């Protein structure tokens, strides 16, 4: 093969020496010289084609990699240095081109690398082979993926390498490179991911995280790499049955549970490395306990007291604790955080990956209940405990290494989306602990944003767990607690404990304590910055938790009735009069307005209480003041306008007109745009799950407010077409009525459009998971996507070309079939003409028979004339006669006329012609059968083409429009085939009918021919007998005449009797001949 730039002579010599070398030393020196050639010749750039297009060199290189011997001498083993040089030669010069995968033949180079990977070579050589496999898989993904799937047990050999010699630390480098190759293949090809799953790679690798890398402790990099690979492996799978298969393998849930067990944290297992001196006593107590106990074990009595009641009591504790200086607070906070065992950053990454894997395995909703049921005590319990983490009391020993706020937030999101099981919540007393997280913001969260995220994520979990069946009993128990038996007090016995407060009472108490007047006042020794953030989280979290119980109008009324005096609307609205310059105050006000918007929805009673409160006066001022929460004030006023009590004209000085006047003062257009803009960028919501819930509710509320504003602008007109208005007093109202109706009609149309949009969005949610899966695939591997798109385009073009060719072939076949059908029609017409001709010949034969009858009549007349002549001669006219044989004697009349033989010859000729026609008909029938066989073969070919087209349709990846076009073309071809089949069947029937008629005609001709032969033979015999009788009669007559002439005597009576007898015989013969002619006719 010619090269555009041929190699230099010295380089060609080196390449030839590698092929012709007879020992290892020559090969090694030649390879070393080839690798150093660019250094020795800086002006020369080695091209891959010089090596790959060499006639024998690629074959020799692959042979040495596979067999580790020389090709010229198979008994000569090569050293590992030669293998290293070959691999480096490919790595430096050849792997950049895709030709390396096809020379000396496809799959040869990749299989050679797999053989090196599985060989007993050193770790360095095997690592080089795996690096080459990774390079070709990344740079030439399309061709490499095809060869990976075609290689004998290629992926299974790679899977075995991943778990080979796990206890041998020297194999770690090989295992890491093999994991990188497998990770690359999984991202590029989902089919290969399925093969690796069937090889149970993920199970064996997860086992290695515990047996080799010691699980969670210190977050080994090998554990993180394995978890990243398993996560991408499971993400690439789009078959839900495979996720179910993962849960059926014992290693997967077991190892995930071990990785999620926070008791494996390094600081928890080694407390002496981080605990301060003042905690040494606590360390000794903890060391006496077993390191690995159940995470969800029962807390002691002191820990059980750490609920919302304790939290509320802590806010009203002694003034000495509250009056610490702000300078001392951060130091104490940091010291307190350092006293708890925490997860290292590497361990945090391990747990995050384990949570993500669990989330992927729980994507199928049908599997969640099974997982909740079978793995609730362990795996699900660990995730719940992680989500409900709160710092223990100083005197309480820790039970695990504490997660960071980011990790706790991930656990809360997993619980809210995949593990929202009420059974697990009840088993772990999760409701009280969830409310504690709602009001405190989690365990080790330090900043306000982190605590708000955890608090709002816990509210999202509550929304998933609490439904009407649980909310209504809690509210009923709050309003009407069950009766308690009061025992008779006896001396020395303690009084009975009071009833435990319900969840609603605890949340209302938290709100009440958080809104005390001194909380938001700014005095010189009021509180530290940490206390302010703590109270802000309490206030916003408690309000968010109360919104969970607002599921209908009834529940809102019950919440209002359960409100304590310190948590009433008047008390909460006092916050509006405080300073709004503080960032935390903005957060509190935003949470308050969100709560109020939730609170008054669909409840005119609560709107009445809100507007009658004296503290609602600042609403008008806040509505006109620019702030982060200004759109929430507009929304609150709009909802008040919508649910304004219909039985009252004013509430606390507020009327519908005054509320509308406030909004008009701002500007209706500005209010509408501000409400729509706030929907996209709400303030104060840090959790994504709670943000989605808020946006859904907010959109509905905004539409309600907009409809109410349109109605108010239209003068309160209804949406009907009635023109009667008894209360219209001014002409301007009559003039504005059409505009009012138009606005009302537009409102109704907007409502219909909104409903249609809501239905469309609900339908799109069904396809959300699948679209997200494809989006992840496209983002993770754009190169492969481009390749797939190119393949799809090429395949579409080829299918279009094949379709065009098939159309042309079908058209040509249709034309050929039309010609054949035309020919068959012509043949049938010719056969019909032949049948007509045969009928005419039969008619001619009938005419011939008529002529024969006429000839027989002439023969009878000849007999009569002969008899008359005889009588005349017997009556005296003998002298005028002469006997036969004498001069002047009359000549006897022959029996048959001279034309009789000519007619017989004509009949024979006609019979011969009919036989030839029958033979021609047989030949035509044979030709018709051949044509039918040919049409059958064409029909078979057409069926094969249809089957091929169906296979192409099933194997192709054309778009839906192309598949539809191909399907229509297939249906058209099948319809045409059916049409041809029907025509062929009709033709076959006609041919069979014609063949039967021809056979019948041949039989009739044969019978006629046989009959004519028999009749001719009888005729000849009769003619011969008659001629003999005539001769005898003539002889008798001549003898009698001669006797009479000689003796001149009248005839004897005996002679007359003989003549009469002869005449009778002739008449009988004539009658027989007439009967024969009738038979012939």
- State which of 3-17, 134-148, 786-800 shows the largest mean pLDDT: 134-148
Residue 460: what pLDDT?
92
The lowest-confidence range among 163-167, 177-181, 251-255, 720-724 is 720-724
- Report d(CA 181, CA 407) in Å as an integer: 30
> What is the pLDDT, as a whole number, of residue 230?
92
Q: pLDDT digits over 910-969, tens only?
A: 667 767 766 776 776 677 677 777 776 777 776 777 676 666 655 554 455 665 666 777
How does residue 133 score in pLDDT terms, banded at 50, 70 and 90? very high
Instruction: For residues 1052-1062, give the mean pLDDT.
Output: 56
The pLDDT value given to residue 736: 59
Asked if residue 227 has pLDDT above 90, the reply is yes
Residue pair 134/181 in contact (Cβ under 8 Å)? The answer is yes
Would the CA dihedral through 347, 349, 353, 358 be positive or negative? positive
Q: What is the pLDDT of residues 424-460, one digit of tens each?
A: 888 777 788 888 888 888 777 778 888 888 999 999 9
Query: Is 1016's pLDDT higher than 80?
Result: no
pLDDT at 850: 80
Instruction: Give me the residue label for tokens 């555009």.
Output: 4
Instruction: Tell me the two tokens of residue 961.
Output: 């429009």
Task: Report the pLDDT averaged over residues 663-683.
Answer: 82
Mean pLDDT lowest among 572-581, 686-695, 870-879: 870-879
Q: Which residues contact 498 (CB under 8 A, 6 or more apart)?
A: none
Q: List the structure tokens of 225.
A: 């790499």
The per-residue pLDDT for 1060 is 64
- CA dist., res. 745 & res. 739, Å (int): 10
| Euclidean distance between CA atoms 112 and 118, whole angstroms | 10
Reading the block at residue 249, the tokens are 């393998």
Split at pLDDT 50, 70, 90, the class of 559 is confident
Q: At what angle do helices 688-713 and 448-465 cross, to 10 degrees?
A: 80
| Mean pLDDT for the stretch of residues 999-1025 | 73
Question: What is the widest separation between alpha-carbon atoms in the chain?
Answer: 199
pLDDT at residue 737 in the model: 55
**pLDDT more than 90, % of the chain:** 8
pLDDT classification of 511: cutoffs 50, 70, 90: confident
Is 673 a residue whose pLDDT tops 50? yes
Contact indicator for 34, 47 with CB cutoff of 8 Å: no
DSSP 3-state of 342: strand
- What is residue 400's DSSP assignment? S
And the tokens for 825?
Answer: 């029609």
* pLDDT for 1074: 63
Q: What is the pLDDT of residue 129?
A: 92
The confidence score (pLDDT) of residue 500 equals 73
Name the band, by pLDDT with cuts 50, 70 and 90, for residue 214. Answer: confident
pLDDT at residue 754, rounded to an integer: 82
Helix (H, G, I), strand (E, B) or coil at 402: strand
Mean pLDDT, residues 636-641: 90
* pLDDT score recorded for residue 880: 38
DSSP 250: T
Going by the DSSP 8-state scheme, the letter that residue 71 receives in this structure is S
Q: Calculate the CA 467 to chain-centre distance.
A: 34
Neighbour count for residue 985 (Cβ, 10 Å): 10
Window from 364-368, 447-451, 696-700, 895-899 with minimum mean pLDDT = 895-899
Specify which residues 69 forms β-bridges with: 77
- C-beta separation of 149 from 191 below 8 A: yes
Tracing tokens 């602990």 back to the chain, one arrives at: 433
pLDDT at residue 746, as a whole number: 65
**Separation of alpha carbons 383 and 257, rounded Å:** 9
Give residue-wise pLDDT tens across range 956-990. Answer: 544 556 656 667 777 776 777 677 677 667 767 77
How many CB atoms lie under 10 A from the CB of residue 737? 16
- Residue 1022: how many CA atoms within 13 Å on its side-chain side? 20
CB contact set of 501 (below 8 Å; sequence gap of 6+): 309, 509
> Does residue 130 surpass a pLDDT of 90?
yes
| Residue 790 predicted with pLDDT over 80 | no
What is the model's pLDDT at position 960? 54
Alpha-carbon span 145 to 98, nearest angstrom: 12
pLDDT of residue 711 exceeding 70 = yes
Cβ contact 351:414 at 8 Å? no
Average pLDDT over residues 619-636: 86
pLDDT of residue 279: 53
The answer on pLDDT for 14 being more than 60 is: yes
Instruction: Collapse the DSSP code of 703 into the 3-class scheme (helix H, G, I; strand E, B; otherwise coil) and give the result.
Output: helix
**pTM for this one?**
0.62
The Cα 541–Cα 435 span in angstroms is 9
Query: To which residue do tokens 């092929």 refer?
Result: 19
Return phi, psi of residue 715, to 5°: 75, 25
Which phi and psi angles does 187 have, rounded to 5°?
-65, -30
Q: Grade residue 786 by pLDDT with cuts at 50, 70 and 90.
A: low
- Select the more confidently predicted residue: 194 or 1026: 194
> What pLDDT shows up at residue 295?
37
Mean pLDDT of 376-392: 82
- Rg, the chain, Cα only: 57
What does the pLDDT read at residue 131?
93
What mean pLDDT is predicted for residues 566-579? 65
Angle at CA 231, nearest 5°, toward 136 and 791?
Answer: 45
Contact 353, 228 (CB under 8 A): yes
pLDDT tens for 330-352 read 333 434 555 678 888 999 999 99
User: Lowest-pLDDT range, 124-138, 144-158, 432-446, 941-955?
Assistant: 941-955
Average pLDDT, the chain: 75
Q: Is the pLDDT of residue 624 over 90?
A: no
Nearest alpha-carbon partner for 604 in 657, 635, 637, 643: 643
Predicted confidence (pLDDT) at residue 132 exceeds the cutoff of 90 = yes
Separation CA 971–CA 785 (nearest Å) = 33
Number of neighbours of residue 779 by Cβ within 10 angstroms: 9
Render pLDDT for 580-589 as a digit per residue (tens, 0 to 9). Answer: 567 777 888 8
Peptide bond into 104 cis (omega under 30): yes
Q: What is the dihedral of CA 969, 972, 974, 979, to 10 degrees?
A: -160
Alpha carbon distance 965, 1061 (integer Å):
100
């Amino acid at each position: 093969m010619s090269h555009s730039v041929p190699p230099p002579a010295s380089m060609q010599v080196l390449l030839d020496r590698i092929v012709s070398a007879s020992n290892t030393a020559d090969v090694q020196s030649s390879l070393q010289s080839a690798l150093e050639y660019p250094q020795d010749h800086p002006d020369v750039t080695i091209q891959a084609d010089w090596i790959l297009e060499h006639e024998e060199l690629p074959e020799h290189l692959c042979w040495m990699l596979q067999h580790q011997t020389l090709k010229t001498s198979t008994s000569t083993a090569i050293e590992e240095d030669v293998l290293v040089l070959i691999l480096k030669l490919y790595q430096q010069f050849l792997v950049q081109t895709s030709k390396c995968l096809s020379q000396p033949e496809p799959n040869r180079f990749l299989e050679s690398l797999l053989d090196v990977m599985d060989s007993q070579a050193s770790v360095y050589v095997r690592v080089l082979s795996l690096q080459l496999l990774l390079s070709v898989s990344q740079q030439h993904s399309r061709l490499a993926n095809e060869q990976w799937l075609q290689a004998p047990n290629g992926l299974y050999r790679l899977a075995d390498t991943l778990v080979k010699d796990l206890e041998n630390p020297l194999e770690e480098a090989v295992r890491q490179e093999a994991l990188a190759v497998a990770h690359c293949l999984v991202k590029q090809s989902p089919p290969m991911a399925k093969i690796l799953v069937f090889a149970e790679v993920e199970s064996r690798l997860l086992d290695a995280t515990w047996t080799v890398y010691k699980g969670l402790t210190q977050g080994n990099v090998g554990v993180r790499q394995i978890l990243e690979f398993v996560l991408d492996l499971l993400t690439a799978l789009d078959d839900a049955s495979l996720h179910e298969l993962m849960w059926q393998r014992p290693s997967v849930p077991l190892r995930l549970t071990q990785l999620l067990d926070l008791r494996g944290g390094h600081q928890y297992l080694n407390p002496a490395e981080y605990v301060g001196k003042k905690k040494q006593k606590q360390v000794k107590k903890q060391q006496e306990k077993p390191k690995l106990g159940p995470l969800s074990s029962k807390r002691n009595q002191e820990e059980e007291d750490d609920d919302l009641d304790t939290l509320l009591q802590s806010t009203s504790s002694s003034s000495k604790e509250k009056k610490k200086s702000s300078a001392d607070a951060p130091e104490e906070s940091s010291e307190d955080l350092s006293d708890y065992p925490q997860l290292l950053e590497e361990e945090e990454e391990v747990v995050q990956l384990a949570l993500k894997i669990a989330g992927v395995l729980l994507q199928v909703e049908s599997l969640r209940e099974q997982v909740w049921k079978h793995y609730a005590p362990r795996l699900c319990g660990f995730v719940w405990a992680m989500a409900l983490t709160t710092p223990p009391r100083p005197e309480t020993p820790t039970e695990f290494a504490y997660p960071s706020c980011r990790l706790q937030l991930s656990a809360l999101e997993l619980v809210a989306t995949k593990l929202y099981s009420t059974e697990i919540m009840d088993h772990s007393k999760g409701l009280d602990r969830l409310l504690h997280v709602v009001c405190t913001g989690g365990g080790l969260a330090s900043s306000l944003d982190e605590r708000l995220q955890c608090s709002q994520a816990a509210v999202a979990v509550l929304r998933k767990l609490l439904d009407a069946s649980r909310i209504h009993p809690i509210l009923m128990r709050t309003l009407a607690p069950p009766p308690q038996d009061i025992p008779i007090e006896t001396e020395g016995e303690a009084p009975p404990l009071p009833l435990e407060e319900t969840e609603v009472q605890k949340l209302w108490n938290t709100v009440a304590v958080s809104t005390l007047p001194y909380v938001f006042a700014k005095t010189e020794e009021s509180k530290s910055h940490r206390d302010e953030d703590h109270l802000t989280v309490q206030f916003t979290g408690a309000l968010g938790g109360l919104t969970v119980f607002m599921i209908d109008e009834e529940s809102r009324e019950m919440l209002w009735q359960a409100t304590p005096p310190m948590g009433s609307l008047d008390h909460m609205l006092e916050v509006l009069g405080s300073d709004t310059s503080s960032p935390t105050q903005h957060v509190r006000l935003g949470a308050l307005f969100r709560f109020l918007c939730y609170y008054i929805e669909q409840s005119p009673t609560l709107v009445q209480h809100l507007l009658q409160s004296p503290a609602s006066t600042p609403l008008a001022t806040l509505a006109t003041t620019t702030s982060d929460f200004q759109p929430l004030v507009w929304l609150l006023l709009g909802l008040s306008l919508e649910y304004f009590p219909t039985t009252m004209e004013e509430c606390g000085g507020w009327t519908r007109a005054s509320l509308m006047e406030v909004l008009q003062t701002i500007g209706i257009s500005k209010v509408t745009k501000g409400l729509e803009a706030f929907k996209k960028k709400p303030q104060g919501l840090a959790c994504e799950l709670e943000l989605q819930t808020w946006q859904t509710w907010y959109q509905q509320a905004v539409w309600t407010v907009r409809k109410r504003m349109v109605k108010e602008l239209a003068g309160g007109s209804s949406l009907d077409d009635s023109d009667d208005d008894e209360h219209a007093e001014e002409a301007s109202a009559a003039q504005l009525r059409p505009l009012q109706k138009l606005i009302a009609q537009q409102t109704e149309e907007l409502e219909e459009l909104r409903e249609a949009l809501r239905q469309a969005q609900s339908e799109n949610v069904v396809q959300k998971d699948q679209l997200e899966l494809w989006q992840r695939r496209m983002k993770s591997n754009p190169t492969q996507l481009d390749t797939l798109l190119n393949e799809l385009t090429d395949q579409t073009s080829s299918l279009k070309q094949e379709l065009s060719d098939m159309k042309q072939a079908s058209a040509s076949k249709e034309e050929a079939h039309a010609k054949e059908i035309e020919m068959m029609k012509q043949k049938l017409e010719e056969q019909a003409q032949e049948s007509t001709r045969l009928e005419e010949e039969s008619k001619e034969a009938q005419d011939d028979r008529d002529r024969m009858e006429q000839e027989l009549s002439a023969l009878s007349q000849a007999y009569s004339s002969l008899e008359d002549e005889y009588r005349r001669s017997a009556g005296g006219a003998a002298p005028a006669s002469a006997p036969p044989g004498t001069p002047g004697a009359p000549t006897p009349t022959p029996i048959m006329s001279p034309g009789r033989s000519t007619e017989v010859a004509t009949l024979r000729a006609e019979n011969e012609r009919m036989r030839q026609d029958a033979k021609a008909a047989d030949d035509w029938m044979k030709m018709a059968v051949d044509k039918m066989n040919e049409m059958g073969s064409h029909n078979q070919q057409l069926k094969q083409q249809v089957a091929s087209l169906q296979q192409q349709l099933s194997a192709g990846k054309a778009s839906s429009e192309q598949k539809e076009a191909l399907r229509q073309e297939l249906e058209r071809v099948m319809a045409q085939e059916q049409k041809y089949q029907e025509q062929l069947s009709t033709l076959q029937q006609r041919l069979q009918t014609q063949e039967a008629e021809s056979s019948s005609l041949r039989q009739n001709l044969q019978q006629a021919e046989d009959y004519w032969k028999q009749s001719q033979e009888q005729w000849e015999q009769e003619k011969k007998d008659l001629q003999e009788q005539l001769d005898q009669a003539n002889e008798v007559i001549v003898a009698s005449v001669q006797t009479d002439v000689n003796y001149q005597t009248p005839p004897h009576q005996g002679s007359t009797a003989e003549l009469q007898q002869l005449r009778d015989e002739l008449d009988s013969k004539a009658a027989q001949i007439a009967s024969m002619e009738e038979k012939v006719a």
